[in-house]
Structure 1
Amino acid sequence: MRGSEFADLRAFATIVAYGTFARAAVQLSVSPSALSQTIRGLEARLGVRLLNRTTRSVSVTDAGSRLYARLKPVLEELEAAVADVNDLRERPAGTLRLTSSRVGAERFLAPILGPFHRAYPDIVLDTTVDDVVRDIVAEGYDAGIRLGEMISDDMVAIKLGGSLRQVAVATPEYLARHGVPQHPRDLLDHACINWRWTETGRIYHWEFQEPGGDWFSVAVKGPIIVTDRSMVLAAALQGVGIALWLEDRILPYVKDGRLVPILEEWSGAFPGFFLCYPKQRHTPLPLRVFTDFMRATYG
């Protein structure tokens, strides 16, 4: 087999694994048009169509499915063999692609950037920070930092830090004018500062827990909707209405009297953040040393 043929087969397998030319192109560090040309050449040499392509989707033909079923274990074995050799390097090296929410990155990534770089100068942390719940496998990430409730069962999860609570707050002036809610559903009669999920466009429903009981949500309304949680706090401090945010974030403003916590007995604790990555037979060395570093720092 010529070297180019192996590369073409790997390109085909990557498209099938990631579901789209665009995602596969990112993983292979090529343009989608170049990848499409590669697959056309491979199909021409084999004399059979492997993929059915439209502008929006890719599906695998019967011939493509058969080829992929034979290729997948071979490519996995080759990658494991290369990884074994890389493990013998004196210093771990390579690129580690990470995805994290803004809060997760601020809490757990930002503090370790310097120490991790000094410990492993040959590892590049390629990090995407936003509030989109990304498909770690499909989008070619090695690991992610996210809340426990957003981690699927097929992922390895490492706890980072302790449990969290969200607490509703408002300025003393707002509560003096509009009254203090006694039950979360009383929020329906108040101006609340809403947050919208970037990924889906859906407005977040505020979550509360019955004292010692079940969780429930309330679809509050108000004059402001934002996609950045820092804006929620800014609006609350300016007296726009009631905000719901992490307890440690609002604590400094509670201590100096600018914000007043409400409905605290309804504010249950939840597990918080985890570092997660796909279960795999061989964990690449850069990922292994990164997870060990995070576990030692926050475990």
Structure 2
Amino acid sequence: MDSPHGAAVRAEDFGLKGPRGWAFRGVGIDAAPGSLIAVEGPSGSGRTCLLLALTGRMKPTAGHAEVGGHRLPKHMAAVRRIAALGPVSGVNDLDQALTVAEQLREGALLHRRYDGPVRALLRPRAERRAAAAARVDAALAAAGLDLATLPKGERTSVRDLERLESVRLSVAIALLGSPRLIALDDLDLKLSDAEREEAWVLLRSLAASGITVLAVCSEAPGDAIVLRTVAETPDGTPDGTPDSTPDGTPDDSTGKSADEATGADDTADDTADEDVTEDVTEEVTEDDDTKGADDALAEAGRA
């Protein structure tokens, strides 16, 4: 893979309001390239909407943000080109019918077709295959996924992977595009305490390599830059007291939401969360010459 260089993430009074109210609002952050950023909060508090907005997948309606020098919401397509999605349920799920090798091959093909330089398509086939194999090997190593340890090696079905193995595979596929920022949803979902620590070790290693990491979780580690989201009460006020950053100063990143997009938890909020994603993403408009199906496929290749 190319040498990574992370994307700075900045936001001021950042918010997103849909037909059913605020998904999140009042978010503020100033994170340097290569930072580990954790979006902490309960299911249904706007965590996933914030992740999708900061990666250019949902259009914010208040304030502004800047990712890797690209301002949101004006340059959403540019942000999508540098921000890859790890596991985000309902957005870029792994194909349960494929084997691990097939899933990796599909990711490599999408990257080469839609994200890779045009001149790469002119190389001899053998050279292209060798380059793709090297890229996959590097991505697997960075994600900490050893195919030899899987029950059937690379022929193991995706549906047979453990939760942490699925996370690693999703991260490896995201890394194929050499992103400057990688975002993961529900990182600690269905993980034991030991597995949760392994997952954070992985994300710390990615951040240490220079990639900016943004992860949604229910409980953030002490060394992360934390954005906290809280749910709204029925009268529209925040449910809970103001949050603080790890050093005890007031946290300006409190979000307020009654809905959250594409939640992975098996809760009654999931249906409402999906509705928010559908309603808000319909408002997304393109802002450069990359239009229609080509842009959607490019996003799929990076996801």
TM-score range, shorter chain: under 0.3
Greater gyration radius: 1
TM-score of the superposed pair, with normalisation by structure 1: 0.23
* Structure 2 length-normalised TM: 0.23
